[in-house]
Structure 1
Amino acid sequence: MARPSRAHERRAGLVAAARRAVVERGMLDLRLRDVAEQADMSPGSVLYYYPTMTDLLREVQREAVDRFCAGREDAVRHEPDPRRRLAAMIRSGLPSGPGDELCVLLYELGTIARRDASYAAEHIRLYERQVGIYAGILGAGAATGAFTLTRDATTIARNLVALEDGFGLHITMAVPTVDTARAERLLLACAADAIGCDLDDLEGDR
């Protein structure tokens, strides 16, 4: 009787190893050897499962995008109040600090999106999926009368995601120029201006 294939398990392990290697070394310094060492495998064995580093890193990026967006969806799924739902969405998009592994991973992978169309496509998917979540929250709030939107929901959503990205980069820099709490306050203030109601009393409300 043939033994069951462990290829799926091996590939999942390599994705996890590559994820750790990207966070530790960064994309600019990353080598095949780094991934192999993290996985406790030879470089040749890594290439057996992923013929190129590009193939492996695309899978790392896809998994990271799905995990990040699923986390954001979970953060707002069971909150019925539109204001608290919007505040929860804002909090779920910011890094917890400079060592936030998932956010650092996404930012590192984003550095090559300007040169590689396939990475860019995945980065666009990340952006659009977040915009969709925000737009749904904003539209629902407007429909119930909780929000009075100053612009259409999609425009506000795109601005909020872009601001999150900017603040996130500052939070995860070697010398952060803003911390998570300050970024959250600034985003809540921006969102309040866009929805026509105050969110100050929701700061720090978990």
Structure 2
Amino acid sequence: MSGRSPEQGKRTPTTTKGAQRRAALLDAAEKILFESGYGELTMRAVAATAQTRLGHVQYYFPSRTDLIAAVLRRTLDRSLDRLAPLFADAAEHTPPDTEGLIRQLLAEHDDPRLVRVYAELWALAGRDEAVAAVTRTFYGEYQDHVAGFLRARNPALPDTVCQARARVFTVLIEGASLFRSGIAAHRTEEADAELINTAGALLD
């Protein structure tokens, strides 16, 4: 995969039908990524899964890099759509429901397919700048949600402290997925309790 931007070379559909066709191709690519992994995610495999011509896939995604970056971006956007309301809802409680928030964030790890996609994402980001850019954008937005929660809870907290705590919190929660999903280890109640306490202290 090249280091080009995921936006370069990508054709943006200008019609509803074009958007639907592009979404169908991303559905096919996501299915392959979830079920078989990055190694099987080829342009021909997407065409076969979507039951369309290879040229049709190449029209919307001229390169494999464009295709992979687009499917990862969509998967990550959906994660943010799920996570953003959690921070807003938790902040509305008096006092803020930090434990409930953390448990809901950890519940994302319950989907083994999603955890595998994240593991693939991290591995790819180390080799491809286009995927790394998608990854940085996602985690930057994730971190912003955490920092916003901290500011709402403690307006006097300096921005540099908010950002630092938000980054460490994100590292804890996201890194924990490897150790709670069976990839690097299996979850235990004792470890989860320590994780929740440690992450919660960052939000105080």
For residues 138-195 of structure 1, what are the alpha-carbon distances to aligned partners after superposition, in whole Å with 9 as ceiling and x for unaligned?
2222249xxx99x922222111111112111223345x61338666423321034335
Displacement of 1:93 after TM fit? 3.1
Equivalent in the alignment of 2:197: 189
For residues 34-67 of structure 1, what are the alpha-carbon distances to aligned partners after superposition, in whole Å with 9 as ceiling and x for unaligned?
2223212233332232211211111112112211
Equivalent in the alignment of 1:119: 131
Name the CA shift for 1:60/1:97 in 2 (closer, same or farther; >3 Å): same
Name the CA shift for 1:188/1:117 in 2 (closer, same or farther; >3 Å): same
Residues 37-186 of structure 1 correspond to what in structure 2 (within 5 A)?
A: 37-79=48-90, 80-81=92-93, 84-94=96-106, 95-97=108-110, 99=112, 101-143=113-155, 152-174=161-183, 177-179=185-187, 184-186=192-194
For residues 103-154 of structure 1, what are the alpha-carbon distances to aligned partners after superposition, in whole Å with 9 as ceiling and x for unaligned?
432332232111211211111111111111111212222249xxx99x9222
Name the CA shift for 1:166/1:195 in 2 (closer, same or farther; >3 Å): closer
Within 2, Cα distance between the matches of 1:195 and 1:136? 11
Q: TM-score, normalised by structure 2?
A: 0.77
Displacement of 1:5 after TM fit? 6.6
Q: Secondary structure at the match of 2:154?
A: helix
Q: Is the 8 A contact 1:76 1:88 kept in 2?
A: no
Q: Secondary structure at the match of 1:41?
A: coil
Q: Identity over aligned residues, as a percent?
A: 27
When the two chains are superposed, the root-mean-square deviation of aligned CA atoms in Å is: 2.8
Q: Is the 8 A contact 2:61 2:67 kept in 1?
A: yes
Q: Is the 8 A contact 2:178 2:185 kept in 1?
A: no
Q: Is the 8 A contact 2:65 2:130 kept in 1?
A: no
Residues 21-32 of structure 1 correspond to what in structure 2 (within 5 A)?
A: 21-32=32-43
Equivalent in the alignment of 1:17: 28
Within 2, Cα distance between the matches of 1:186 and 1:38? 43
Displacement of 1:28 after TM fit? 2.9
Q: Secondary structure at the match of 1:112?
A: helix
Report how many aligned residue pairs link the two structures. Answer: 187
**Which structure would you say has the larger RCO, counting Cα contacts within 8 Å and 6 or more residues apart?**
2
Q: TM-score, normalised by structure 1?
A: 0.76
Name the CA shift for 1:195/1:45 in 2 (closer, same or farther; >3 Å): closer
Within 1, Cα distance between the matches of 2:101 and 2:139? 14
Task: Name the structure where helix makes up a greater proportion of residues.
Answer: 2
Q: Is the 8 A contact 1:85 1:137 kept in 2?
A: no
Gaps of 5+ in 2: 1-14
Q: Secondary structure at the match of 2:31?
A: helix
Name the CA shift for 1:171/1:34 in 2 (closer, same or farther; >3 Å): farther
